[in-house]
């Protein structure tokens, strides 16, 4: 199985490295040149304004994981994603393996189709904001959770100021007022670069679209936290 971690939704406590690093660092193929940082309240306001316009999204993603201080890719994967505010998200890995991470408003599900396992955890019970929760959650809380800096045109760097979200830095990248990708640096200094494509913010979605029913032949693992 590919080895990428998943910080997307939250620190997913599973042995699957692929899922745990999903959102450890996302720089996508838009370049890694960091411009001078300007940190002030206006950066938080700008980012909050950008995120408030993203009420629903769907599209494709391509992600590449890099080891600490290395430009050699450890793993890559591609797939589709869907988002509906305030608390719904689906992240489906299509290659090289087949996995689904979905938040239905109450639970966070992880379906590993290759291993035929389903893991479920409650969404509530933490004040931390994972990278996916930054996109899909309440953008008015950004100033309470992160120090936000503008690092270049359309680039916002978020550094956690409280809690334990599982990453050191998160960079959101916008192009023409649309989300283009994410950059995440995890606590082990591993990097994940994610690029979004075919992004659609017009097609209607509903909470029912994020309902997940475990397959009858899957092994189920339910956790209370």
| Model confidence pLDDT, tens digit, residues 134-158 | 887 778 878 888 999 999 999 999 9
Q: Would you state the pLDDT for residue 30?
A: 27
Rounded distance, CA 179 to CA 124, Å? 26
In 3D space, the residue among 134, 96, 99 whose CA is nearest the CA of residue 19 turns out to be 99
Residue 38 burial (CB < 10 Å; 0-12/13-18/19+)?
Answer: exposed
Domain count of the fold of the chain? 1
Which residues neighbour 104 within 8 Å (Cβ) at sequence distance 6 or greater?
Answer: 88, 207, 210, 211, 212
pLDDT in tens, 187-201: 888 899 999 999 999
Q: Which stretches of the chain are DSSP H helices? A: 17-20, 41-52, 131-136, 142-145
Domain range enclosing 53: 17-63+74-202
Q: What is the pLDDT of residue 9?
A: 41
For the cut 60, the answer to whether the pLDDT of residue 6 exceeds it is: no
DSSP 65-127: EE-TT--SEEEEEEEEEEEETTTEEEEEEEESS-EEEEEESSEEEEEETTTTEEEEEES-S--
Residue written as token pair 């997307």: 8
Question: Which sign, positive or negative, has the C-alpha torsion 87, 203, 76, 180?
Answer: negative
On whether residue 174 sits in a domain, the answer given is yes
- Whether 50 and 153 have beta carbons less than 8 Å apart is answered as no
In a domain, 90, yes or no: yes
**Beta bridge pairs of residue 100:** 92, 111
User: Do the domain assignments include residue 212?
Assistant: no
End-to-end C-alpha distance for the chain, whole angstroms: 26
Rounded to an integer, what distance in angstroms lies between the CA atom of residue 199 and that of residue 157? 21
At 85-141, the pLDDT tens digits run 888 999 999 999 999 999 998 999 999 999 999 999 998 655 566 787 788 777 887
pLDDT at 4 over 60: no
Q: Quick: pLDDT tens for 30-86.
A: 222 333 344 457 999 999 888 888 889 999 999 999 887 777 788 899 999 999 988
Do the domain assignments include residue 112? yes
Higher pLDDT pick, 37 / 214: 214
In a domain, 11, yes or no: no
pLDDT > 70 in the chain, percent: 79
Q: What's 176's DSSP letter?
A: T
Is residue 22 assigned to a domain?
A: yes
Per-residue pLDDT, 224: 83
pLDDT at 172: 95
Q: Residue 197 domain-assigned?
A: yes
Q: Kindly tell me the number of DSSP H helices and DSSP E strands found in the chain.
A: 4, 13
Q: Output the domain CATH number for residue 113.
A: 2.50.20.10
Q: Which residues contact 113 (CB under 8 A, 6 or more apart)?
A: 97, 98, 99, 100
**What percent of the chain stands above pLDDT 90?**
48
Alpha-carbon distance of 181 to 26, in angstroms, equals 7
Q: Is residue 113 part of a domain?
A: yes
């Amino acid at each position: 199985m590919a080895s990428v971690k998943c910080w997307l939704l939250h620190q997913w406590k599973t042995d699957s490295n692929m899922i745990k690093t999903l959102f450890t660092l996302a720089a996508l193929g838009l370049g890694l040149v960091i411009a001078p940082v300007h940190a002030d309240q206006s950066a938080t306001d700008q980012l909050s304004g950008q995120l408030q316009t993203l009420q629903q999204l769907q599209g494709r993603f391509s992600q590449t994981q890099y080891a600490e201080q290395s430009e050699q890719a450890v793993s890559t994967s591609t797939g589709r994603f869907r988002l509906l505010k305030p608390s719904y998200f689906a992240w489906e890995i299509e290659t090289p393996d087949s996995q689904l991470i979905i938040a239905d408003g109450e639970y966070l599900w992880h379906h590993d189709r290759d291993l035929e396992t389903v893991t479920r955890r409650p969404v509530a019970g933490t004040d931390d904001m994972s990278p996916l929760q930054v996109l899909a959650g309440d953008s008015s809380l950004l100033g309470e959770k992160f120090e936000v800096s503008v690092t270049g045109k359309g680039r916002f760097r978020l550094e956690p100021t409280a809690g334990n979200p599982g990453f050191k830095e998160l960079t959101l990248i916008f192009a023409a007022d649309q989300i283009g990708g994410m950059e995440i640096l995890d606590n082990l200094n591993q990097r994940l670069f994610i690029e979004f494509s075919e992004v659609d913010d017009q097609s209607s979605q509903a909470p029912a679209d994020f309902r997940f029913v475990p397959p009858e032949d899957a092994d189920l693992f339910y956790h209370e936290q």
